[in-house]
A and B are shown apart, each in its own frame.
Chain A
Amino acid sequence: MPRIGRHRHQLGSPLWEAGAPDEVRAELDFHLEMLTREFEARGMSRDQARAEAVRRFGDPARISATSLTSARERDSAMRRSHYIIDLSQDIRFAFRQLARARAFTVIVLLTLGIGIGATTAIYSVLLAVVLRAIPAAHPERVVYVAERYQGQTSNMSIGNFVDVERQATSFDGLGAIVYRSFNLAEGEAPERVFGAAVSASLFKVLGIPAALGRTIANDEDVPGNDDVVVLSDGLWTRRFGRDPAVLGRTIRLNTRPYRVIGVMPPLFNPTISDEQLWVPAAFTTTQRAQHDEHYIDVLGLLKPGVSRQQAAADVDRIMVDLVARYPNANIDRRGTVTSIADVVLGNLQQRLFVLFGAVLLVLLIACANVSNLLLARGASRAKELAIRTAVGAERGRLVRQLLVETGVLAVASAALGIPMAAAVVKVIVARAPTGIPRLTETTIDGGVAAFAIVLAVLCSVIAGLIPALRASRRDPQQDLRDGGRGAMGTVRDRVRSVLVIGEVALALTLLIGASLLIRSAVAMERSEPGFDPQGALIGRISLPEAAYREPTRVVQTLERIVDALTAQPGIVAAGATSQAPMGPGGGSNGLLAEGRAPTPANIVDTRLRMISPGYLQAMRIPLRRGRAFTDRDVSGTERVAIISEETARRLWPGEDPVGKRLQCCEGSEADPRNKTVVGVVGDVRSSGLGSPIVPEFYLPIAQAPDVAWDWIQRSMTLVVRGKGSDGSALAGAMRTAVHAVDATVPLDRVTTMNQAMATSVAPARFNTLLLTTLGAIGLVLAALGIYGVVSYFVSVRLHEIGVRLMLGATGRQVVRLLVVQGLRPVVIGLMVGLVGAAVSTRALASSLFGVSSLDVPSYAGVTLLLLAVGLLATVIPARRALRVAPRSALGG
């Protein structure tokens, strides 16, 4: 016989009325009494018999003790066995009940299934993108070391990095990363490969050994000895067929030969930038002295026991010293230490958490609906529950049984929700904009499934507790007498009203949040970019350093390419720039107006663009004052510059900048090489729509400082514009022109300006789409919830309505009465929700553009929408009642 069932026969016996000690004592006392009587029967007196019985009995204390132990063991074994039997009984009973109430079960399963499915899907995305640690030997100790400039985290300069590495005491290692594109020529087709030049110490910081071969050694991180390369697993698979013989082979990167010394495992991705290969950084002495070009990334391994704050203070202290020693290179700079996630994910983290918050709101609304449904169901089962109470079932047992029923529903919903989540994740991953790191790693694994089940259990408690408590509290006599009718509850059912208030408040918050983000997105897309993207095509070229060492040769080739482009049929205007809007590249320099002292207050950090003369026309950046560059602005003639309006505002507020001179980028005390401002152009939102306006300035490529070509690694963006509005038709022409000038120069990342803009707003748009979907689901659920509750209220008063109608009330009067009653909780919910929304949308403030978190149109619009939905959900059942009520009144 199975051990579980062995106490089955003892169900229902009030076994544990007394505790075990009392029981045992009672049993032993009885035995003693019987012994006493036996001796009395043999002729002893009562006292003698008693004494003899006690003597025979033995030491009562010892007997009690051993008996008690056995009794207790027995009792706990029985309790456990009973519990399991009860539970399995409850579950079987629950299944039967649910199978009988099919409509109810289906609705609850769907409601909870959608809620749990959506929440699980977003959670799994959160897990993959944000919560999972970067693969490293000690992930909690790997940090991103950075400078802070104007409140923002900023890249480091090589000079600063060298000093920080030398002086910092908080790290077991620091590694620098310089991202670069390489022309990989090996065997057949050359290709552009994204990679990085890194310190040898970077591999130690991450603590991940090479899968094949080895990583960069310290003595290879030196100029002259640095012709080694480590491949990524992806590149090794794609281009080298996972051939182990790749070790020792020589490949040509940017026409230089490099020897392959190792291959990294697939998970090695220090900043999730997906670089394909790593070469030594091998900083030269010149580079190591350069404190003013801030473009490298630095990762560090904290010493065990050192906190991030301590390390940040350490780096900051060093930076303060560096600011004092190199004031012009390090204006306004501080040091900091942050997590890699913060840097790589940026505000994506916040966006995802907001999304998660939104989906939880939807889940809560779903729970409120289910709670409502359970209340209704409890009312309809009043008779059955009354009978069970009357026959002796205690309240705890009933509550437990009802909770088990809700639990079964919840777990079944989880079973529905998990595959739903898998489908949703698939859609999200397919439709999401590119550039969300690790999104493709999102999977529904055991951990996520466990989350879904835990969520389901929580929901069942949240949704089911109050209905279970209420259903088991009833007065059995009352219920049995009424035949179940009076058990519908009172007209002023507080709990149901509270549920409606809650749902409305949650839905309002959700929809207001979504509305704010939608309006943000619209404002962003309407904002002026500062140029005309329609019909423009861009492409990126990179001149290999070996063949184009001399700056004059670089400039010549660029000019020839631009001429070749302009000569192409279909191309109306062409130009080249070191950084196009939303494009890669570019750096910033400090500008100082001539005659002003070089103090931090006077130096304006400005983005530099080196452009060909035709660029401004090709991009249709409006010229506000003065003139654009011409072919006559060449090396040897007067040095000129064009600045943006913002730059003019900062350098010469209120004055006409044309003709004034400024100092930047090159020169010394003896030979300042100042440049004359010849023109002012409109501001350009270079980081995409919705990005802030930053100061910019332009130099002609023919006059660019020699060292600037190193800064930008001889990479430029070409721009062409045709007659039509679709730039993509010009791609072939662009390629032909470049090829004609120099066939070895690769052209890649050819895209229309419109596409580039769309890509830059894609994440915001996608986010908005998701939130709107959640908002809509929340709205529908809330509407259903309101409808359900109002229908219930109406059905309770059916009799009364019928009587009123018979006594002469018009239909309209009755409807008005019902609607007012039904809308009361809705209105309260709106008021609560408005307060809640005002508070919670503050969390969105940093994601908003052009809209405040208390945007009146959003608040008003959503409130009216919910009011209208509430009205509809109230009027429909009210009007239906009119038809049914008279029958009910007559039927009594």
Chain B
Amino acid sequence: MPPANAKDALHGTLDALILKTLTWGPRHGYAISRWLRDTSSDAIQVEEGSLYPALYRLEKVGWIKAEWGVSEIGRKARIYRLTPAGRRQLRAEVARFAAFIDAVQPILLSE
């Protein structure tokens, strides 16, 4: 079902993107935004002002968990990883998104 309002829509999409990113392994905040940029060829550029609140929110509801660890440059960084609950949530989000596409595609993308 499509999200209720714009903010939720944004949240929902961003959440799903972050969760999906983490399925490829634990990452710190910068690595998540970098990966999203690289994979979408710079189409998706997450603002830092949205990224971290989203990460903390996801952490609060328990879909991701964080630990301070050592980064590749030797400095301390907060490393996020997916939790089993997060995995389930991601599956639900993806299913929702796919249903949305299926519903909209015949209307918007037909001539």
Contact = CB atoms under 8 A, between A and B. Distances in A.
B60 interface: yes
B92 to A, nearest CB: 14
Contacts of A10: 65
Interface in A52-91: 57-59, 62-63, 66-67, 69-71, 73-74, 77-78
A229 to B, nearest CB: 73
A9 interface: yes
A560 interface: no
Given A9-B83, A58-B49, A30 B60 contact: no
A10 B78 CA distance: 14
Nearest to A17: B68
Central interface residue in B48, B57, B71, by most chain A CB within 10 Å: B48
Central interface residue in B52, B75, B78, by most chain A CB within 10 Å: B52
Contacts of B67: 13
A15 B10 CA distance: 29
Nearest to A7: B62
Interface in A18-70: 23-24, 26-28, 30-31, 33-35, 37-38, 57-59, 62-63, 66-67, 69-70
A1 interface: yes
Q: Is the interface of A mostly helix, strand, loop or mixed?
A: helix
Contact of A27 (B52, B57, B65): B52
A704 to B, nearest CB: 93
B59 A63 contact: no
B76 A31 contact: no
A34 B56 contact: no
Nearest to B55: A70
Contacts of B77: 27, 30
- Place the interface of chain A in its size category: 20 to 34
Given A57-B48, A66-B53, A31 B65 contact: no
A74 B59 contact: yes
A6 interface: yes
Given A30-B30, A31-B29, A67 B52 contact: yes
B74 to A, nearest CB: 11
A34 B29 CA distance: 10
A67 B76 CA distance: 19
A31 B47 CA distance: 12
B48 A30 contact: no
B34 interface: yes
Contact of A70 (B52, B62, B76): B52
B46 to A, nearest CB: 11
B71 A30 contact: yes
Interface in A369-400: none
Contacts of B49: 58-59, 62-63, 66-67
Contact of B29 (A7, A27, A78): A27
Contact of A71 (B31, B48, B56): B56
Interface in B54-104: 56-57, 59-62, 65, 67, 71, 73, 75-78, 83-85
B53 A34 contact: no
A27 B85 contact: no
Given A38-B34, A70-B57, A78-B60, A6 B85 contact: yes
B53 A35 contact: no
Contacts of B31: 34
A67 B56 contact: yes
A62 B76 CA distance: 23
B28 A30 contact: yes
Nearest to A56: B48
B77 to A, nearest CB: 5
Given A31-B30, A34-B73, A70 B53 contact: yes
B52 A73 contact: no
A77 B60 contact: yes
Nearest to A66: B53
B75 A70 contact: no
Central interface residue in A7, A34, A35, A58, by most chain B CB within 10 Å: A34
A471 B28 CA distance: 42
A74 to B, nearest CB: 4
B48 A31 contact: yes
Given A1-B85, A58-B48, A34 B30 contact: yes
A431 B7 CA distance: 74
Contacts of A57: 48
Contacts of A34: 30-31, 34, 71, 73
Contacts of B83: 6, 9
A74 B57 contact: yes
Contacts of A38: 34
A63 B77 CA distance: 18
Contacts of A63: 48-49, 52
Nearest to A26: B76
A35 B30 contact: yes
Given A9-B83, A31-B29, A58 B56 contact: no
Nearest to B84: A1
Nearest to A35: B30
Contacts of B59: 74
Contacts of B76: 26, 30
Contact of B78 (A6, A27, A33, A62): A27
A37 B48 contact: no
Nearest to B78: A27
Contacts of A67: 49, 52-53, 56
Given A38-B34, A63-B48, A70 B29 contact: no
Nearest to A58: B49
Contacts of B65: 7, 9-10
A90 B104 CA distance: 53
A633 to B, nearest CB: 101
A28 B34 contact: no
A78 B59 CA distance: 9
A24 B73 contact: no
Contacts of B52: 24, 27-28, 63, 66-67, 70-71
A73 B57 CA distance: 8
Q: List the 10 closest pairs (A to B, CB-CB), nearest first.
A: A6-B62, A70-B56, A74-B60, A34-B30, A67-B52, A70-B53, A63-B49, A31-B30, A74-B56, A71-B56
Interface of A: 1, 3, 6-7, 9-10, 13, 23-24, 26-28, 30-31, 33-35, 37-38, 57-59, 62-63, 66-67, 69-71, 73-74, 77-78
Given A13-B67, A27-B77, A77-B60, 5 more contacts: A6-B61, A7-B65, A27-B52, A66-B49, A67-B49
Interface of B: 28-31, 33-34, 47-49, 52-53, 56-57, 59-62, 65, 67, 71, 73, 75-78, 83-85
21 contacts: A1-B85, A7-B62, A7-B65, A9-B65, A10-B65, A13-B67, A23-B78, A26-B76, A27-B77, A27-B78, A30-B29, A30-B71, A31-B48, A33-B73, A33-B75, A34-B73, A58-B48, A62-B49, A63-B49, A67-B52, A69-B53
